[in-house]
Amino acid sequence: MIQNFTPNDLIKILYEPKEGLDQLLNTEECSELASFQKVKDKLEEALLEPSNRSVDMILAYAKSKSALHS
């Protein structure tokens, strides 16, 4: 039986692993899955908060707008 996995299937496997499913992957699919795992790891390391400078700029903008409407 030949099983072909699409990139979408591999992403699903990455986020919803199934017991024994990795045994059905061929060498190329395993390599692609490993690449996806690296990307997923990097995304999880990404900074998820705005910088203080960005927050300060937004607050200054909001303050200037509220002063105009007061």
Check: CB of residue 5 under 8 Å from CB of residue 29: yes
pLDDT, tens digit, for every residue of 5-63? 888 988 988 888 777 777 788 889 989 999 999 999 998 888 688 889 999 999 999 99
pTM of the predicted protein model: 0.56
- The string of pLDDT tens digits covering residues 13-26 is 888 877 777 778 88
Residue 53: per-residue pLDDT: 96
Calculate the alpha carbon distances from 43 to 39, 51, 68 in Å: 6, 17, 40
Q: What average pLDDT does the chain have?
A: 85
Residues in the chain: 70
**Confidence class of residue 1 from pLDDT cuts 50, 70 and 90?**
very low
